[in-house]
Amino acid sequence: MIITEVAAQATPAMQVTPADWPGGYWWHWLFFSVVLIVFMLGMVMGAIYIERRGMGKMQWRRGPNRTGPFGVLQPVADALKVLIKENIVPGVADKVVHWLAPVIAFVPVAMIFAVIPFQNGALLADLNVGILYIVAISSIATVGVFMAGWGSSNKYSLLGAMRNVAAVVSYEIPLVLAIIGVVMFAGSLSMNQIVAEQEIPYILVQPMGFLLFFTAACAEINRSPFDLTEADSELTAGFHTEYSGMKFALFYLVEYAEAIAMSAIITTLFLSGWKGPWLPPWLWFIIKVLIVFFVMVWTRTTLPRVRIDQLMALAWKFLFPLALINLFITAIEIIVWPDASQWIFVIINIAIAAVLVLLWSKRFKTGWGRIEV
Amino acid sequence: MTTRELTIKTEPFMLNMGPLHPSTHGVYRMRVTLDGEVVLDIEPIFGYLHRGIEKLMEERTYTGCIPLTDRLDYASAMNNNFAYCVAVEKLAGIKVPERAEYIRVITAELIRIANHCLAVGAMLNDAGALGTPFFYLWRQREKIYDLMEMLCGQRVLHNYTRIGGVSQDIPAEFLPALKKFIPQLHSFINEFEIFLKQNEILIARAKDVGILPKDLAINCGISGPVARASGIKRDLRKDDPYSIYDRFEFDIPTGENGDCYDRYRVRMEEMKQSLRIIEQAVKQVPEGQFKADLPHLIRPPAGDAYGYVEGPKGELGFYIVSDNSIAPYRCHIRSTSFINLTALRQMVRGWKVADLIVIFGSIDITMGEVDR
């Protein structure tokens, strides 16, 4: 598929609503705004439950099991608890920044969901630059995190916030480069179009892209083993050390909403989104999101945390060159064999990815260790 | 044409780590000087858990001091009891019955395993492994504590050893339960090694991190697994066998580099060696008295004695001075954790904050013993 052709075919319209959609434009916005908020909060609750129970099972303990059947009401109980807790602001904190930080961290994460398709055409805004919009929006959350770290006037918070900024700035690059591979195959930046183009899930066509994206996404949203921003054994709670009550709950919500958003993006880009046999498309979408999230929980329970210089080394020495090579190979494949079956690329790309990752991990050295003081 | 210097000027800042911090293993406090993430210097501050145990011991009878020794290193209470009783027995010249010696060795080695479970788990937790290895090891520790409960009714602070023996004989079901537990623990340790021995991130975080050179370790008087990881082949059980340790076959695992990874490795190997000792001891437990016939209040002759054991954290000694009364005139505790901490400053300088936590965790201290 040649990119120029697709660009010509792409519709300039904002959304792909069915013709018999009642009420038209405003109905669409209202309906999907409500659906998105319900989806986000519901998924976050589910995510918290899966994480706590899943971690419990993996760690040979039970996890929460007292509230409701199998402890399913634990997130509700947690939410109620933080709602009625006292809101403490440190005396020397920058009050405005401290108050504004959770809001600024939360809003962009909520906005990511606007362009994620639940089934064909079922999304708030089918932007023709959907994935670009996500990349642009998702970085704003970092500002909120840094404001939290700076405004708390606490050294632990500041260290955590600095780590977060360093991580996001570095990992944005392999993240975007991994996305470009997918965009080149799909020939579109629209999230809905990317799903529609996937006859084979792109995880097979772009295996390296998937690995790079997953790693970079974990680092970007501070999931373990890259959770240096919070690093509870080092920085007590990192950037939200000084937060309590509902403001803390917002950061907690952001953490899981980001994880769900990243899972949804991975599902859309690499796991063919809502596509799947037998079940309704939206159910497929949710199942895939939860599977991706489960993998994140899995890595969290399995791996120790990396150090900040190792984190940087991984981004610049490992992911960045591999992302460039992956981009180069993908570009050649698309230009030289525009009409070839994607199944050929599946075999070639998996082989290339395996060889490259193996070779690179042999030569790769993390960090620089001790500094003379 | 002039060129401008583009150097970023940074200023070091002070960070108070502890006494309330998730990874300071109690109430240790470090005043850390940081340059960004790099640790320039640390200043240790002790004393938040000081209970004056050495002074309290002067007010109690010799037997009454035993519960106090539990409170020193609460992660390995049995070894503290053991060391104290060895010192008093040396002072008073008491002969301990065979059966009691065997029981003491078995329990001491079991608690050594429990302590190493805690030490390794806590260190991995500090390295950011979010509880998984910690809980795996904790479960084994719980099983050991179940055995202890069967033995003396106490799980953590055992207060089991008495001067001249132990407080009560082992129950009939203890040895069969122990025999059943040994192969379980063996297979667990092997499984655990598969999980973590070659873990890339653990190696990146712990290998060559926080190196303690051999000469520094000797100069600081460091003992136990920390010293052995630096290549010092010293173990009181072999070098100066107390109790009945000369009857058992076991090796002294040592490391080469003296880094955090070696300390972790040495502890895992020591758990295997302790199991070997228990296996041999369980087969040989003789019948007989579990406690020497002694009066309730003993009055050791005036003089002094230094009793020591190889505790899980290193050489643990009690120096007791007697004035022929029912209470020690003076008791000094050579607490391992305190002495092992002395090299921390040299070990962490130049490393990152994250390494500071791991290095600190790899020393394995208990604040109860540091502050006394």
The total of other beta-carbon atoms located within 10 Å of residue A3's CB is: 14
Q: How confident is the model at residue A303 (pLDDT cuts 50, 70, 90)?
A: confident
Which residues on chain A are in Cβ contact (under 8 Å) with B208? 369
Predicted local distance difference test score (pLDDT) of residue B321 = 92
Residue A203 has pLDDT above 80, yes or no: yes
Q: What is the mean pLDDT of residues B106-128?
A: 89
Kindly report the nearest CA distance between residue A82 and chain B, in angstroms.
Answer: 21
Cβ B129–A305 below 8 Å, yes or no? yes
Residue B214 lies in a domain: yes
Predicted local distance difference test score (pLDDT) of residue A23 = 63
What distances in angstroms separate CA B108 from CA A123, A288, A324, one per listed residue? Answer: 65, 52, 58
Query: What's the CATH code of the domain at B338?
Result: 1.10.645.10
Predicted local distance difference test score (pLDDT) of residue A15 = 47
Residue B132 is encoded by which pair of tokens?
Answer: 């998984």
Q: Is A6 exposed, middle or buried (0-12, 13-18, 19+ CB in 10 A)?
A: middle
Predicted local distance difference test score (pLDDT) of residue A71 = 83
Nearest CB neighbour to B355, from listed A235, A307, A373? A307
**Per-residue pLDDT tens over the stretch A243-300:** 888 888 888 888 899 899 999 999 988 888 888 888 888 888 889 999 999 999 988 8
Nearest CB neighbour to B38, from listed A227, A305, A373? A373
Kindly report the nearest CA distance between residue B203 and chain A, in angstroms.
Answer: 10
What spatial distance separates the first Cα and last Cα of chain B, rounded to whole Å? 67
The answer to whether the beta carbons of residues A119 and A282 sit under 8 Å apart is yes
Of B157, B12, B80, B15, the closest CA to residue B312 belongs to B80
Kindly report the nearest CA distance between residue B127 and chain A, in angstroms.
Answer: 6
**Per-residue pLDDT tens over the stretch B152-180:** 888 888 888 888 888 888 888 888 998 89
Residue B4 lies in a domain: no
- Between strands B303-310 and B38-45, the pairing is unpaired
Q: What is the DSSP letter of B352?
A: B
Rounded to the nearest 5°, which phi and psi values hold at A266?
-60, -45
In SS3 terms, A243-282 reads as: CCHHHHHHHHHHHHHHHHHHHHHHHHHHCCCCCCCCCCHH
**Per-residue pLDDT tens over the stretch A74-120:** 888 888 888 888 888 888 888 888 888 998 988 888 888 888 888 77
Which residues on chain B are in Cβ contact (under 8 Å) with A373? 35, 38-41, 349-350
Residue B7 is encoded by which pair of tokens?
Answer: 């150097």
Higher pLDDT, B98 or A371: B98
Cβ B352–A309 below 8 Å, yes or no? yes
Helix, strand, coil share of chain A (percent; to 5): 70, 0, 30
Residue B234 has pLDDT above 50, yes or no: yes
**Per-residue pLDDT tens over the stretch A42-61:** 888 889 898 888 888 888 88
Residue B136 lies in a domain: yes
The single-letter code of the amino acid at A55 is: M
**Per-residue pLDDT tens over the stretch B191-220:** 888 888 888 888 888 888 888 888 998 998
Predicted local distance difference test score (pLDDT) of residue B113 = 92
| Residue in B closest to A61 by C-alpha | B135
Nearest CB neighbour to B13, from listed A155, A224, A372? A155
Residue A12 has pLDDT above 80, yes or no: no
What distances in angstroms separate CA B341 from CA A336, B7, B28, B30, one per listed residue? Answer: 64, 37, 11, 12
Cβ A306–B205 below 8 Å, yes or no? yes
Predicted local distance difference test score (pLDDT) of residue B114 = 92
**Per-residue pLDDT tens over the stretch A15-27:** 455 556 666 677 7
**What DSSP assignment string belongs to A125-164?**
---TTHHHHHHHHHTHHHHHHHHHHHHTT-HHHHHHHHHH
Cβ A235–B353 below 8 Å, yes or no? yes
Predicted local distance difference test score (pLDDT) of residue A4 = 44
Rounded to the nearest 5°, which phi and psi values hold at B353?
-60, -45
Predicted local distance difference test score (pLDDT) of residue A8 = 43
Residue B98 is encoded by which pair of tokens?
Answer: 């065979």
pTM across the whole model:
0.86
| Predicted complex ipTM | 0.82
**Per-residue pLDDT tens over the stretch A304-349:** 888 888 888 888 888 899 999 999 988 888 888 877 777 888 888 8
**Per-residue pLDDT tens over the stretch B253-263:** 988 888 889 99
Domains contained in chain B, number: 1
**Per-residue pLDDT tens over the stretch A113-166:** 888 888 777 777 777 888 889 888 888 888 888 888 888 888 888 888 888 888
For tokens 């906005």, name the residue. A111
Q: How confident is the model at residue A367 (pLDDT cuts 50, 70, 90)?
A: low
Of A317, A336, A11, A314, the closest CA to residue A184 belongs to A336
**Which residues form the domain of B118?**
13-371
Cβ B126–A233 below 8 Å, yes or no? yes
Which residues on chain A are in Cβ contact (under 8 Å) with B137? none
CA–CA dist B204, B243 (Å, integer): 41
CA–CA dist B155, A178 (Å, integer): 54
Interchain contact B128–A (C-beta under 8 A): yes
**Per-residue pLDDT tens over the stretch B261-304:** 999 989 999 999 999 999 999 888 888 888 888 888 888 888 88
The alpha carbon of residue A113 and the mean position of all alpha carbons in its chain are separated, in whole angstroms, by: 11
Which residues on chain A are in Cβ contact (under 8 Å) with B349? 373
Q: What is the mean pLDDT of residues B141-147?
A: 90
| Residue in B closest to A155 by C-alpha | B15
Predicted local distance difference test score (pLDDT) of residue A204 = 86
Interface subset of B 1-40, CB within 8 angstroms of A: 13, 15, 21-23, 35-40
* DSSP SS3 for B39: strand
Tell which of B130, B347, B358 to mutate to test the A interface (max A CBs under 10 Å): B130
Residue B251 lies in a domain: yes
Residue B7 lies in a domain: no
The answer to whether the beta carbons of residues A110 and A40 sit under 8 Å apart is yes
Residues 6+ apart with CB under 8 A from B297: B61, B62, B63, B326
B322, containing H or E segment: strand B315-322
CA–CA dist B335, B339 (Å, integer): 7
* Residues of A at the B interface, defined by Cβ within 8 angstroms: 55, 58-61, 155-156, 159, 162-163, 224-225, 227-228, 231-236, 300-310, 366-367, 369-373
Q: Which residues pair with B29 in a beta bridge?
A: B45
Predicted local distance difference test score (pLDDT) of residue B35 = 84
**What DSSP assignment string belongs to B266-320?**
HHHHHHHHHHHHHHHHHHHPPPS-SB----SS--PPSEEEEEEEE-SSSEEEEEE
Lowest mean pLDDT among A22-31, A179-188, A189-198, B10-19: A22-31
The answer to whether the beta carbons of residues B331 and B65 sit under 8 Å apart is yes
Rounded to the nearest 5°, which phi and psi values hold at B299?
-125, 90
* DSSP SS3 for A64: coil
Q: Where are the domains of chain A?
A: 90-363
Q: Is A347 exposed, middle or buried (0-12, 13-18, 19+ CB in 10 A)?
A: exposed
Chain-wide mean pLDDT for chain B? 87
